[in-house]
Structure 1
Protein backbone atom coordinates (compact mmCIF):
# COMPACT_ATOMS: atom_id res chain seq x y z
CA UNK A 1 0.00 0.00 0.00
CA UNK A 2 1.20 3.48 -0.90
CA UNK A 3 -0.64 6.54 0.48
CA UNK A 4 -0.47 9.78 -1.54
CA UNK A 5 -0.94 13.01 0.40
CA UNK A 6 -1.12 16.70 -0.53
CA UNK A 7 1.01 19.21 1.38
CA UNK A 8 -0.59 21.76 3.69
CA UNK A 9 -0.50 25.52 3.45
CA UNK A 10 0.16 25.66 7.18
CA UNK A 11 3.77 24.81 7.96
CA UNK A 12 6.19 24.85 10.87
CA UNK A 13 7.97 28.16 11.45
CA UNK A 14 11.41 26.79 10.64
CA UNK A 15 13.98 24.10 11.18
CA UNK A 16 17.41 23.70 12.68
CA UNK A 17 19.01 21.45 10.06
CA UNK A 18 21.57 22.20 7.35
CA UNK A 19 20.60 24.18 4.24
CA UNK A 20 18.83 22.50 1.36
CA UNK A 21 20.73 19.70 -0.39
CA UNK A 22 18.80 18.75 -3.52
CA UNK A 23 20.94 15.69 -4.08
CA UNK A 24 19.80 14.22 -0.77
CA UNK A 25 16.09 14.34 -1.63
CA UNK A 26 14.09 11.29 -2.64
CA UNK A 27 13.28 10.82 -6.33
CA UNK A 28 16.48 12.46 -7.63
CA UNK A 29 15.08 12.18 -11.17
CA UNK A 30 12.95 15.20 -10.25
CA UNK A 31 15.94 17.45 -9.53
CA UNK A 32 16.12 19.09 -13.00
CA UNK A 33 12.50 20.27 -12.63
CA UNK A 34 13.08 21.19 -8.98
CA UNK A 35 15.91 23.50 -10.08
CA UNK A 36 13.73 25.09 -12.74
CA UNK A 37 10.91 25.73 -10.28
CA UNK A 38 13.29 27.07 -7.63
CA UNK A 39 14.78 29.49 -10.15
CA UNK A 40 11.40 30.64 -11.46
CA UNK A 41 10.05 31.05 -7.93
CA UNK A 42 13.04 33.18 -6.93
CA UNK A 43 12.51 35.44 -9.94
CA UNK A 44 8.77 35.69 -9.30
CA UNK A 45 9.27 36.67 -5.67
CA UNK A 46 11.19 39.76 -6.85
CA UNK A 47 8.23 40.96 -8.91
CA UNK A 48 5.77 43.56 -7.67
CA UNK A 49 2.87 41.28 -8.58
CA UNK A 50 4.31 38.24 -6.78
CA UNK A 51 1.42 38.01 -4.25
CA UNK A 52 -1.12 37.85 -7.07
CA UNK A 53 0.90 35.39 -9.17
CA UNK A 54 1.41 33.06 -6.19
CA UNK A 55 -2.12 33.47 -4.86
CA UNK A 56 -0.94 34.56 -1.42
CA UNK A 57 -3.67 35.60 1.04
CA UNK A 58 -3.56 38.95 2.80
CA UNK A 59 -1.75 38.81 6.09
CA UNK A 60 0.60 36.04 4.93
CA UNK A 61 2.23 37.71 1.95
CA UNK A 62 5.38 39.07 3.57
CA UNK A 63 6.18 35.90 5.49
CA UNK A 64 5.63 33.72 2.41
CA UNK A 65 7.84 35.88 0.19
CA UNK A 66 10.59 35.97 2.79
CA UNK A 67 10.53 32.19 3.09
CA UNK A 68 10.67 31.73 -0.68
CA UNK A 69 13.56 34.17 -1.08
CA UNK A 70 15.60 32.33 1.56
CA UNK A 71 15.06 28.78 0.30
CA UNK A 72 18.66 28.01 -0.60
CA UNK A 73 20.11 29.15 2.74
CA UNK A 74 17.33 28.58 5.27
CA UNK A 75 17.56 25.80 7.89
CA UNK A 76 15.70 22.65 6.93
CA UNK A 77 13.51 20.17 8.79
CA UNK A 78 12.04 16.76 7.88
CA UNK A 79 8.87 16.66 5.83
CA UNK A 80 7.34 14.72 8.73
CA UNK A 81 7.64 17.87 10.88
CA UNK A 82 7.06 20.57 8.26
CA UNK A 83 3.37 20.25 7.42
CA UNK A 84 1.03 21.16 10.27
CA UNK A 85 -2.40 21.51 8.66
CA UNK A 86 -5.59 19.66 9.61
CA UNK A 87 -4.76 16.50 7.66
CA UNK A 88 -1.34 16.24 9.31
CA UNK A 89 -2.71 16.96 12.78
CA UNK A 90 -4.99 13.95 12.37
CA UNK A 91 -2.28 11.87 10.70
CA UNK A 92 -0.37 12.24 14.00
CA UNK A 93 2.95 11.01 12.63
CA UNK A 94 4.56 11.24 16.07
CA UNK A 95 2.39 8.35 17.24
CA UNK A 96 3.33 6.10 14.28
CA UNK A 97 6.32 3.90 13.63
CA UNK A 98 8.60 6.22 11.57
CA UNK A 99 9.82 3.46 9.28
CA UNK A 100 6.33 2.21 8.47
CA UNK A 101 5.06 5.75 7.79
CA UNK A 102 8.05 6.64 5.61
CA UNK A 103 7.60 3.47 3.56
CA UNK A 104 3.89 4.03 2.91
CA UNK A 105 3.57 7.81 2.38
CA UNK A 106 4.50 10.10 -0.51
CA UNK A 107 3.76 13.83 -0.18
CA UNK A 108 3.21 15.89 -3.34
CA UNK A 109 4.37 19.49 -3.64
CA UNK A 110 4.22 22.32 -6.16
CA UNK A 111 7.89 23.13 -5.45
CA UNK A 112 9.46 19.70 -4.90
CA UNK A 113 7.24 17.42 -6.97
CA UNK A 114 7.14 14.47 -4.59
CA UNK A 115 8.82 13.82 -1.26
CA UNK A 116 9.28 11.18 1.41
CA UNK A 117 8.71 11.99 5.07
CA UNK A 118 12.44 11.77 5.80
CA UNK A 119 13.44 14.43 3.25
CA UNK A 120 14.71 17.69 4.73
CA UNK A 121 13.45 20.92 3.16
CA UNK A 122 12.94 24.53 4.32
CA UNK A 123 9.50 26.09 4.82
CA UNK A 124 8.12 27.50 1.56
CA UNK A 125 4.90 28.64 -0.10
CA UNK A 126 3.98 27.41 -3.58
CA UNK A 127 0.76 25.61 -4.45
CA UNK A 128 0.46 23.17 -7.36
CA UNK A 129 -2.37 25.25 -8.84
CA UNK A 130 -0.06 28.22 -9.51
CA UNK A 131 0.93 29.32 -13.02
CA UNK A 132 4.57 30.26 -12.46
CA UNK A 133 6.28 32.53 -15.01
CA UNK A 134 7.92 31.60 -17.31
CA UNK A 135 7.34 27.87 -16.68
CA UNK A 136 3.55 27.91 -16.86
CA UNK A 137 1.15 25.68 -14.95
CA UNK A 138 3.03 23.71 -12.34
CA UNK A 139 0.90 20.57 -12.63
CA UNK A 140 1.67 20.38 -16.37
CA UNK A 141 5.36 21.07 -15.78
CA UNK A 142 5.64 18.28 -13.21
CA UNK A 143 3.60 15.69 -15.09
CA UNK A 144 6.29 14.15 -17.34
CA UNK A 145 8.93 14.07 -14.59
CA UNK A 146 6.59 12.53 -12.03
CA UNK A 147 5.43 9.91 -14.53
CA UNK A 148 9.03 8.86 -15.08
CA UNK A 149 10.10 8.99 -11.42
CA UNK A 150 7.20 7.35 -9.57
CA UNK A 151 6.87 3.59 -9.94
CA UNK A 152 4.52 2.01 -7.39
CA UNK A 153 5.59 -1.48 -8.56
CA UNK A 154 2.16 -3.01 -8.19
CA UNK A 155 1.42 -1.62 -4.73
CA UNK A 156 -2.15 -0.46 -4.13
CA UNK A 157 -2.19 3.34 -4.35
CA UNK A 158 -4.49 5.08 -1.85
CA UNK A 159 -4.92 8.59 -3.24
CA UNK A 160 -5.79 11.27 -0.67
CA UNK A 161 -4.59 14.24 -2.73
CA UNK A 162 -6.64 17.28 -3.72
CA UNK A 163 -7.44 18.12 -7.35
CA UNK A 164 -4.35 20.07 -8.52
CA UNK A 165 -1.98 17.47 -7.06
CA UNK A 166 -3.95 14.61 -8.60
CA UNK A 167 -3.66 16.29 -12.00
CA UNK A 168 0.15 16.34 -11.72
CA UNK A 169 0.38 12.54 -11.56
CA UNK A 170 -2.25 9.96 -12.42
CA UNK A 171 -1.74 6.95 -10.21
CA UNK A 172 -1.60 3.68 -12.18
CA UNK A 173 -3.82 0.74 -11.31
CA UNK A 174 -4.48 -0.53 -8.75
CA UNK A 175 -5.44 2.88 -7.30
CA UNK A 176 -8.28 4.12 -5.11
CA UNK A 177 -9.27 7.74 -4.56
CA UNK A 178 -10.56 8.50 -1.06
CA UNK A 179 -13.64 10.75 -0.96
CA UNK A 180 -15.46 11.98 2.14
CA UNK A 181 -19.19 12.71 2.44
CA UNK A 182 -21.48 13.82 5.24
CA UNK A 183 -24.84 12.06 5.37
CA UNK A 184 -27.91 13.68 6.90
CA UNK A 185 -31.49 12.52 7.01
CA UNK A 186 -33.70 15.21 5.46
CA UNK A 187 -37.42 14.52 5.27
CA UNK A 188 -36.75 10.89 6.00
CA UNK A 189 -34.36 10.59 3.04
CA UNK A 190 -30.57 10.29 3.42
CA UNK A 191 -28.72 13.09 1.64
CA UNK A 192 -24.97 13.23 1.13
CA UNK A 193 -22.83 16.32 0.67
CA UNK A 194 -19.13 16.79 0.05
CA UNK A 195 -17.20 18.24 2.99
CA UNK A 196 -13.85 20.05 2.88
CA UNK A 197 -12.39 20.75 6.33
CA UNK A 198 -13.70 17.49 7.76
CA UNK A 199 -12.51 15.65 4.65
CA UNK A 200 -8.92 16.61 5.44
CA UNK A 201 -9.28 15.50 9.04
CA UNK A 202 -10.92 12.24 8.01
CA UNK A 203 -8.28 11.39 5.44
CA UNK A 204 -5.58 12.05 8.02
CA UNK A 205 -7.27 9.77 10.56
CA UNK A 206 -7.75 6.97 8.05
CA UNK A 207 -4.11 7.14 6.94
CA UNK A 208 -3.05 7.06 10.59
CA UNK A 209 -5.30 4.13 11.41
CA UNK A 210 -4.16 2.07 8.43
CA UNK A 211 -0.47 2.56 9.20
CA UNK A 212 -0.92 2.06 12.95
CA UNK A 213 -2.76 -1.22 12.28
CA UNK A 214 -0.02 -2.45 9.98
CA UNK A 215 -2.57 -2.80 7.17
CA UNK A 216 -1.19 -3.53 3.73
CA UNK A 217 -4.17 -4.12 1.42
CA UNK A 218 -3.32 -5.21 -2.10
CA UNK A 219 -6.72 -4.60 -3.72
CA UNK A 220 -9.50 -2.01 -3.44
CA UNK A 221 -11.71 -4.64 -1.82
CA UNK A 222 -9.09 -5.39 0.83
CA UNK A 223 -8.73 -1.64 1.47
CA UNK A 224 -12.48 -1.20 1.97
CA UNK A 225 -12.54 -4.08 4.44
CA UNK A 226 -9.50 -2.78 6.32
CA UNK A 227 -11.00 0.72 6.65
CA UNK A 228 -14.37 -0.67 7.75
CA UNK A 229 -12.69 -2.94 10.30
CA UNK A 230 -11.04 0.17 11.75
CA UNK A 231 -14.47 1.64 12.52
CA UNK A 232 -15.12 3.85 9.51
CA UNK A 233 -18.15 3.69 7.22
CA UNK A 234 -16.56 2.90 3.86
CA UNK A 235 -18.13 2.07 0.50
CA UNK A 236 -16.29 1.05 -2.65
CA UNK A 237 -17.66 2.75 -5.77
CA UNK A 238 -15.56 1.86 -8.78
CA UNK A 239 -12.21 3.55 -8.30
CA UNK A 240 -13.41 5.56 -5.28
CA UNK A 241 -13.51 4.67 -1.62
CA UNK A 242 -16.30 6.77 -0.14
CA UNK A 243 -16.06 7.51 3.59
CA UNK A 244 -19.43 8.48 5.04
CA UNK A 245 -19.72 10.69 8.13
CA UNK A 246 -23.12 10.43 9.82
CA UNK A 247 -24.61 13.51 11.51
Structure 2
Protein backbone atom coordinates (compact mmCIF):
# COMPACT_ATOMS: atom_id res chain seq x y z
CA UNK A 1 0.00 0.00 0.00
CA UNK A 2 1.27 3.46 -0.92
CA UNK A 3 0.33 6.62 0.96
CA UNK A 4 0.59 9.56 -1.44
CA UNK A 5 1.22 12.98 0.13
CA UNK A 6 1.38 16.51 -1.25
CA UNK A 7 4.61 18.45 -0.61
CA UNK A 8 4.80 21.65 1.40
CA UNK A 9 5.84 25.17 0.45
CA UNK A 10 8.28 25.29 3.36
CA UNK A 11 11.46 23.23 3.44
CA UNK A 12 14.52 22.87 5.64
CA UNK A 13 17.83 24.28 4.48
CA UNK A 14 21.01 22.23 4.43
CA UNK A 15 21.67 18.56 3.93
CA UNK A 16 24.46 16.01 4.01
CA UNK A 17 27.90 17.55 3.63
CA UNK A 18 29.27 17.02 0.12
CA UNK A 19 25.99 15.71 -1.29
CA UNK A 20 24.22 17.03 -4.37
CA UNK A 21 21.24 16.07 -6.48
CA UNK A 22 21.51 12.80 -8.42
CA UNK A 23 18.43 12.72 -10.65
CA UNK A 24 19.16 9.21 -11.90
CA UNK A 25 19.17 7.86 -8.33
CA UNK A 26 15.62 8.99 -7.51
CA UNK A 27 12.84 6.42 -7.26
CA UNK A 28 10.38 5.96 -10.13
CA UNK A 29 13.08 6.15 -12.77
CA UNK A 30 10.40 6.41 -15.48
CA UNK A 31 10.12 10.07 -14.47
CA UNK A 32 13.76 10.95 -15.18
CA UNK A 33 13.02 12.78 -18.46
CA UNK A 34 10.26 15.05 -17.08
CA UNK A 35 12.41 15.66 -13.99
CA UNK A 36 15.27 16.91 -16.15
CA UNK A 37 12.83 19.01 -18.17
CA UNK A 38 11.39 20.47 -14.96
CA UNK A 39 14.86 21.32 -13.65
CA UNK A 40 15.72 23.01 -16.96
CA UNK A 41 12.54 25.11 -16.75
CA UNK A 42 13.36 26.06 -13.16
CA UNK A 43 16.88 27.09 -14.19
CA UNK A 44 15.54 29.21 -17.04
CA UNK A 45 12.94 30.83 -14.82
CA UNK A 46 15.49 31.57 -12.08
CA UNK A 47 17.79 33.52 -14.40
CA UNK A 48 15.58 36.59 -13.86
CA UNK A 49 15.10 36.89 -10.11
CA UNK A 50 12.29 39.46 -10.35
CA UNK A 51 10.31 37.43 -12.88
CA UNK A 52 10.90 34.27 -10.87
CA UNK A 53 9.51 35.93 -7.74
CA UNK A 54 6.32 36.79 -9.64
CA UNK A 55 6.02 33.29 -11.12
CA UNK A 56 6.47 31.73 -7.68
CA UNK A 57 4.15 34.25 -5.97
CA UNK A 58 6.89 35.33 -3.56
CA UNK A 59 6.80 38.36 -1.29
CA UNK A 60 9.69 40.80 -0.73
CA UNK A 61 11.00 38.79 2.25
CA UNK A 62 11.22 35.56 0.25
CA UNK A 63 14.06 36.38 -2.16
CA UNK A 64 16.06 33.48 -0.71
CA UNK A 65 13.61 31.09 -2.37
CA UNK A 66 14.82 32.19 -5.81
CA UNK A 67 18.41 31.80 -4.63
CA UNK A 68 17.59 28.24 -3.53
CA UNK A 69 16.30 27.48 -7.01
CA UNK A 70 19.42 28.93 -8.61
CA UNK A 71 21.53 26.45 -6.60
CA UNK A 72 19.20 23.46 -6.78
CA UNK A 73 21.55 21.15 -8.70
CA UNK A 74 24.58 21.84 -6.50
CA UNK A 75 23.12 22.36 -3.02
CA UNK A 76 23.20 19.55 -0.41
CA UNK A 77 20.45 16.98 -0.19
CA UNK A 78 18.49 15.17 2.51
CA UNK A 79 15.68 12.57 2.48
CA UNK A 80 12.47 13.98 1.05
CA UNK A 81 10.42 13.21 4.16
CA UNK A 82 12.92 15.22 6.23
CA UNK A 83 13.12 18.10 3.73
CA UNK A 84 9.49 19.17 3.94
CA UNK A 85 8.14 21.09 6.92
CA UNK A 86 4.84 22.65 7.90
CA UNK A 87 1.43 21.66 9.20
CA UNK A 88 1.32 18.25 7.52
CA UNK A 89 4.96 17.23 7.92
CA UNK A 90 5.81 18.53 11.39
CA UNK A 91 3.56 15.97 13.17
CA UNK A 92 5.52 13.14 11.53
CA UNK A 93 8.35 13.66 14.02
CA UNK A 94 10.91 12.71 11.39
CA UNK A 95 13.87 13.52 13.65
CA UNK A 96 12.69 10.78 16.04
CA UNK A 97 12.14 8.03 13.48
CA UNK A 98 14.26 4.91 13.85
CA UNK A 99 15.68 2.75 11.09
CA UNK A 100 12.62 0.49 10.95
CA UNK A 101 10.29 3.46 10.56
CA UNK A 102 12.47 4.97 7.84
CA UNK A 103 12.52 1.66 5.99
CA UNK A 104 8.72 1.39 6.20
CA UNK A 105 8.34 5.02 5.11
CA UNK A 106 10.58 4.58 2.07
CA UNK A 107 8.53 1.56 1.02
CA UNK A 108 5.08 2.99 1.67
CA UNK A 109 5.17 6.83 1.70
CA UNK A 110 5.41 8.85 -1.52
CA UNK A 111 5.50 12.66 -1.83
CA UNK A 112 4.32 14.31 -5.05
CA UNK A 113 6.69 17.19 -5.82
CA UNK A 114 5.99 19.83 -8.47
CA UNK A 115 9.71 19.76 -9.35
CA UNK A 116 10.57 16.06 -9.12
CA UNK A 117 7.25 14.26 -9.54
CA UNK A 118 6.84 11.23 -7.29
CA UNK A 119 9.43 10.77 -4.54
CA UNK A 120 9.79 7.99 -2.01
CA UNK A 121 10.41 9.08 1.57
CA UNK A 122 14.16 8.44 1.50
CA UNK A 123 14.92 10.00 -1.89
CA UNK A 124 17.64 12.63 -1.47
CA UNK A 125 16.57 16.08 -2.69
CA UNK A 126 17.77 19.68 -2.27
CA UNK A 127 15.73 22.61 -1.00
CA UNK A 128 13.68 24.30 -3.73
CA UNK A 129 10.55 26.35 -4.33
CA UNK A 130 7.98 25.29 -6.93
CA UNK A 131 4.27 24.69 -6.47
CA UNK A 132 1.63 22.96 -8.54
CA UNK A 133 0.35 26.34 -9.77
CA UNK A 134 3.73 28.03 -10.37
CA UNK A 135 4.15 29.61 -13.81
CA UNK A 136 7.02 28.12 -15.82
CA UNK A 137 8.27 29.27 -19.25
CA UNK A 138 6.36 28.23 -22.42
CA UNK A 139 4.38 25.39 -20.87
CA UNK A 140 2.65 24.39 -17.63
CA UNK A 141 3.52 21.96 -14.90
CA UNK A 142 0.23 20.22 -15.58
CA UNK A 143 1.24 19.52 -19.20
CA UNK A 144 4.68 18.39 -18.08
CA UNK A 145 3.62 16.05 -15.27
CA UNK A 146 0.04 14.87 -15.74
CA UNK A 147 0.73 12.14 -18.29
CA UNK A 148 3.95 10.69 -16.82
CA UNK A 149 2.73 10.73 -13.19
CA UNK A 150 -0.64 9.23 -14.10
CA UNK A 151 1.09 6.47 -16.05
CA UNK A 152 3.34 5.59 -13.11
CA UNK A 153 0.45 5.58 -10.63
CA UNK A 154 -1.71 3.50 -12.98
CA UNK A 155 1.04 0.88 -13.01
CA UNK A 156 1.32 0.59 -9.24
CA UNK A 157 0.24 -2.94 -8.30
CA UNK A 158 -1.15 -2.06 -4.88
CA UNK A 159 -3.69 0.27 -3.34
CA UNK A 160 -2.72 3.96 -3.52
CA UNK A 161 -4.17 5.98 -0.64
CA UNK A 162 -4.28 9.47 -2.10
CA UNK A 163 -3.81 12.13 0.59
CA UNK A 164 -2.86 14.88 -1.86
CA UNK A 165 -4.54 18.24 -2.25
CA UNK A 166 -6.66 18.61 -5.38
CA UNK A 167 -4.01 20.87 -6.95
CA UNK A 168 -1.51 18.02 -6.94
CA UNK A 169 -4.10 15.52 -8.13
CA UNK A 170 -4.28 17.79 -11.18
CA UNK A 171 -0.60 17.07 -11.84
CA UNK A 172 -1.33 13.35 -12.15
CA UNK A 173 -4.51 11.56 -11.08
CA UNK A 174 -4.03 8.21 -9.41
CA UNK A 175 -4.98 4.99 -11.19
CA UNK A 176 -7.92 2.62 -10.75
CA UNK A 177 -6.34 0.99 -7.69
CA UNK A 178 -6.59 4.12 -5.54
CA UNK A 179 -8.82 5.86 -3.06
CA UNK A 180 -8.90 9.61 -2.49
CA UNK A 181 -9.01 10.63 1.18
CA UNK A 182 -11.10 13.65 2.08
CA UNK A 183 -10.70 15.02 5.61
CA UNK A 184 -13.89 16.43 7.11
CA UNK A 185 -15.06 17.95 10.36
CA UNK A 186 -18.02 16.18 11.95
CA UNK A 187 -20.29 18.85 13.39
CA UNK A 188 -22.98 16.34 14.33
CA UNK A 189 -25.72 17.33 11.90
CA UNK A 190 -23.39 18.00 8.98
CA UNK A 191 -19.85 17.53 7.76
CA UNK A 192 -17.59 20.13 6.17
CA UNK A 193 -14.21 20.13 4.48
CA UNK A 194 -11.21 21.56 6.32
CA UNK A 195 -8.01 23.46 5.52
CA UNK A 196 -5.51 23.80 8.39
CA UNK A 197 -6.76 20.79 10.36
CA UNK A 198 -7.02 18.84 7.11
CA UNK A 199 -3.23 18.96 6.82
CA UNK A 200 -2.63 18.33 10.51
CA UNK A 201 -4.99 15.35 10.50
CA UNK A 202 -3.18 13.83 7.53
CA UNK A 203 0.16 14.32 9.28
CA UNK A 204 -1.02 12.67 12.48
CA UNK A 205 -2.62 9.83 10.50
CA UNK A 206 0.65 9.09 8.70
CA UNK A 207 2.59 9.48 11.96
CA UNK A 208 0.48 6.69 13.46
CA UNK A 209 1.22 4.54 10.42
CA UNK A 210 4.96 5.14 10.83
CA UNK A 211 4.69 4.19 14.50
CA UNK A 212 2.68 0.99 13.95
CA UNK A 213 4.06 0.01 10.52
CA UNK A 214 1.04 -2.24 9.82
CA UNK A 215 0.94 -4.86 7.07
CA UNK A 216 -1.93 -3.63 4.88
CA UNK A 217 -3.18 -4.91 1.54
CA UNK A 218 -6.60 -3.35 0.96
CA UNK A 219 -9.02 -0.72 2.19
CA UNK A 220 -10.61 -3.15 4.66
CA UNK A 221 -7.21 -3.70 6.30
CA UNK A 222 -6.67 0.05 6.50
CA UNK A 223 -10.13 0.68 7.94
CA UNK A 224 -9.65 -2.03 10.57
CA UNK A 225 -6.25 -0.64 11.57
CA UNK A 226 -7.70 2.89 11.76
CA UNK A 227 -10.56 1.73 13.98
CA UNK A 228 -8.09 0.17 16.37
CA UNK A 229 -6.31 3.51 16.56
CA UNK A 230 -9.55 5.37 17.28
CA UNK A 231 -9.68 7.00 13.84
CA UNK A 232 -12.98 7.29 11.97
CA UNK A 233 -12.19 6.21 8.40
CA UNK A 234 -15.13 5.54 6.09
CA UNK A 235 -14.56 3.94 2.66
CA UNK A 236 -16.77 4.86 -0.29
CA UNK A 237 -16.44 6.64 -3.63
CA UNK A 238 -13.99 8.72 -1.60
CA UNK A 239 -12.56 7.65 1.73
CA UNK A 240 -13.64 10.01 4.50
CA UNK A 241 -11.34 10.71 7.44
CA UNK A 242 -12.99 12.54 10.34
CA UNK A 243 -10.51 15.07 11.70
CA UNK A 244 -11.83 15.12 15.25
CA UNK A 245 -11.16 11.40 15.67
CA UNK A 246 -7.53 11.82 14.60
CA UNK A 247 -6.91 14.91 16.70
CA UNK A 248 -8.51 13.40 19.79
CA UNK A 249 -6.81 10.01 19.47
CA UNK A 250 -3.41 11.69 19.04
CA UNK A 251 -3.59 13.85 22.17
Match of 1:54 in 2: 56
CA distance in 2, matches of 1:65, 1:235: 42
Q: Give TM-score, length-normalised by structure 1.
A: 0.89
Equivalent pair of 1:159/1:177 in contact (CA under 8 Å): yes
Say yes or no: does 1:143 pair with 2:146: yes
Match of 1:35 in 2: 36
CA distance in 2, matches of 1:191, 1:153: 35
Structure 1 runs of 4+ with >4 Å offset: none
- 3-state SS in 2 of match to 1:178: strand
Decide which moves more: 235-244 or 161-170.
235-244
Do the aligned partners of residues 209 and 38 (structure 1) sit closer, same or farther apart at CA in structure 2, a change above 3 Å counting? same
Say yes or no: does 1:162 pair with 2:165: yes
Say yes or no: does 1:181 pair with 2:184: yes
CA distance in 2, matches of 1:244, 1:70: 39
- Structure 1, unaligned runs of 5 or more: none
CA distance in 1, matches of 2:200, 2:147: 31
Equivalent pair of 2:231/2:241 in contact (CA under 8 Å): no
Pairs within 5 Å for 1:164-243: 164-185=167-188, 190-243=189-242
Q: Give TM-score, length-normalised by structure 2.
A: 0.88
Q: CA deviation at 1:244?
A: 4.2
Do the aligned partners of residues 74 and 37 (structure 1) sit closer, same or farther apart at CA in structure 2, a change above 3 Å counting? same
Equivalent pair of 1:234/1:244 in contact (CA under 8 Å): no
Q: CA deviation at 1:153?
A: 3.8
Do the aligned partners of residues 180 and 85 (structure 1) sit closer, same or farther apart at CA in structure 2, a change above 3 Å counting? same
- 3-state SS in 2 of match to 1:124: coil
Decide which moves more: 223-232 or 144-153.
144-153
Say yes or no: does 1:119 pair with 2:119: no
- 3-state SS in 2 of match to 1:165: helix
CA distance in 2, matches of 1:20, 1:55: 25
- What RMSD in Å do the two structures reach over aligned CA positions? 2.0
CA distance in 2, matches of 1:58, 1:183: 39
Q: CA deviation at 1:15?
A: 1.4
Say yes or no: does 1:70 pair with 2:71: yes
Larger helix fraction of residues: 2
Residues 37-92 of structure 1, C-alpha deviations (whole Å, 9 max, x = no match): 111111112233221212224422x1100000011211111212211111111122
The number of aligned residues is 241
Do the aligned partners of residues 16 and 131 (structure 1) sit closer, same or farther apart at CA in structure 2, a change above 3 Å counting? same
